[in-house]
């Protein structure tokens, strides 16, 4: 009986402390940022109320309810509040009353105000919280919700339930779960069965090609898509009203359009210099996101490089060396041997086309592992 009580307490303590790491040795804001980076982590971004609760429970469980804490965020030269990559902080900004009041250029959780946000001098030393880096811009939300409420929460935070679109996103999702101690927890991802019985994303794009269903699934046990912990987080259909933690990701997959024309290999190198790769067009979802980005950036009539080239054996491969299979939106009659690099051909609605690698074009970069 005692053992049961002890193990229950242990589990509760672990869950409050997992995912984020608290470092009690006081440092300046910039030293705290560097210290997180040296650990392969990042100073925690307090980007939504779910994360805020997780940070507060970590502080509380370590007896730091009365201690000011550094988090990610500072005021840049233009006076804007940005993260360590100079990206504007999102809409979730739980400033204390009357803050920011110009008393400093770095962002702390102010213990005196219940750990609400406060601007304060960067050189003061404080404990800090680091978070794991999630290369695909994924966010774990710990509060269990129905799939519909989970999607609404993602959207309220400018994201969408993550679309598990290829093995690279799947790997990133699994490592996010593992790093946060959610290896044994079922979680919601994007996907549900529509009225015609097809599995589609929240935008109505068909889930196809990359479909890591557990053996025997989908078995009709529900119309929403979960990652099923008991089988290594393979896919499973399950009732939508069940409540689970969930993972949000960027609605644009983290793709970025770059307008200065380059050859395919120069574009590849440039994406890599940004910590990215040429965008992988691996599903109807990625294709429709890329096309709408091209339209909104004024590239609706421009040929665009994406990831893919023909290797020495004549196979079409991506920059990981994996053969492009299954989702292959070639223009009809393509590839016709006119080149060995993969473009989105504007003249045919940005379908795939093989074309000479040395021609210079704008391009789209995407996230990498």
The residues binding Ca ion (CB under 5 A) are: 99, 101, 103, 118-119, 217, 219, 221, 236-237, 334, 336, 338, 353-354
In the complex with Ca ion, which residue's Cβ is closer, 140 or 342?
A: 342
Identify whether the C-beta of residue 167 lies closer than 8 Å to the C-beta of residue 282: no
Closest approach of Ca ion to the CB of residue 331, in Å: 8
Min dist. Cβ of residue 109 to Ca ion (A): 12
Residue among 236 and 318 whose Cβ is closer to Ca ion: 236
CB of 330 to Ca ion, least distance (A): 9
Give the nearer residue to Ca ion in terms of CB position, either 40 or 102. 102
Three-state secondary-structure class, residue 291: helix
Q: Which DSSP category does 39 fall into?
A: T
Q: Which is nearer to Ca ion, 134 or 340 (CB)?
A: 340
**Minimum CB distance to Ca ion smaller for 80 or for 338:** 338
Cβ-contact 219, 241 below 8 angstroms: no
Angle at 212 between CA 207 and CA 216, to 5 degrees: 105
- Nearest Cα neighbor of 163 from 257, 294, 251 is 251
User: Min. distance of Cβ 256 from Ca ion in angstroms?
Assistant: 26
Least distance CB 213 / Ca ion (angstroms):
9
Report, in this order, helix, strand and coil percent for the chain, each rounded to 5. 25, 30, 45
Residue 260 vs residues 108, 185, 305, 344, 364: alpha-carbon distances, Å: 39, 44, 11, 16, 11
């Amino acid at each position: 009986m005692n053992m049961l009580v002890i193990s229950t307490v242990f589990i509760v303590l672990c869950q409050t402390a997992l995912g984020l790491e608290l470092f009690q040795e006081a440092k300046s804001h910039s030293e705290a940022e560097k210290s997180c980076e040296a650990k392969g982590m990042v100073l925690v971004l307090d980007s939504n109320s779910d994360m805020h609760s997780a940070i507060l429970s970590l502080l509380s469980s370590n007896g730091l309810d009365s201690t000011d804490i550094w988090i990610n965020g500072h005021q840049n030269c233009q006076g804007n509040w940005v993260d360590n990559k100079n990206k504007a902080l999102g809409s979730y900004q739980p400033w204390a009353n009357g803050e920011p009041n110009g008393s400093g250029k770095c962002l702390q959780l102010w213990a005196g105000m219940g750990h609400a946000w406060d601007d304060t001098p960067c050189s003061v030393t404080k404990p800090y919280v680091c978070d794991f880096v999630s290369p695909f811009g994924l966010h774990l939300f710990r509060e269990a919700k129905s799939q519909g409420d989970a999607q609404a929460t993602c959207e309220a935070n400018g994201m969408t339930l993550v679309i598990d679109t290829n093995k690279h996103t799947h790997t990133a999702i699994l490592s996010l779960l593992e790093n946060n101690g959610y290896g044994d927890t079922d979680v919601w991802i994007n996907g549900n069965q529509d009225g015609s019985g097809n599995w589609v994303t929240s935008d109505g794009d068909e889930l196809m090609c990359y479909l890591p269903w557990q053996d025997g699934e989908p078995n009709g046990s529900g119309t929403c898509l979960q990652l099923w912990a008991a089988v290594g987080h393979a896919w499973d259909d399950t009732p939508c009203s069940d409540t689970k933690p969930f993972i949000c990701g960027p609605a644009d997959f983290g793709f970025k359009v770059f307008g200065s024309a380059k050859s395919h290999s120069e574009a590849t190198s440039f994406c890599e210099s940004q910590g990215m790769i040429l965008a992988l067009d691996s599903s109807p979802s990625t294709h429709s996101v890329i096309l709408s980005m091209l339209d909104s950036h004024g590239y609706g009539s421009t040929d665009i490089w994406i990831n893919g080239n023909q290797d020495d054996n004549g196979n079409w491969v991506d920059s990981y060396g994996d053969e492009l299979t299954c989702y292959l939106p070639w223009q009809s009659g393509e590839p016709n041997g006119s080149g060995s690099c993969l473009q989105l051909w504007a003249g045919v609605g940005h379908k795939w086309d093989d074309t000479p690698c040395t021609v210079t074009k704008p391009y789209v970069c995407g996230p990498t592992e």
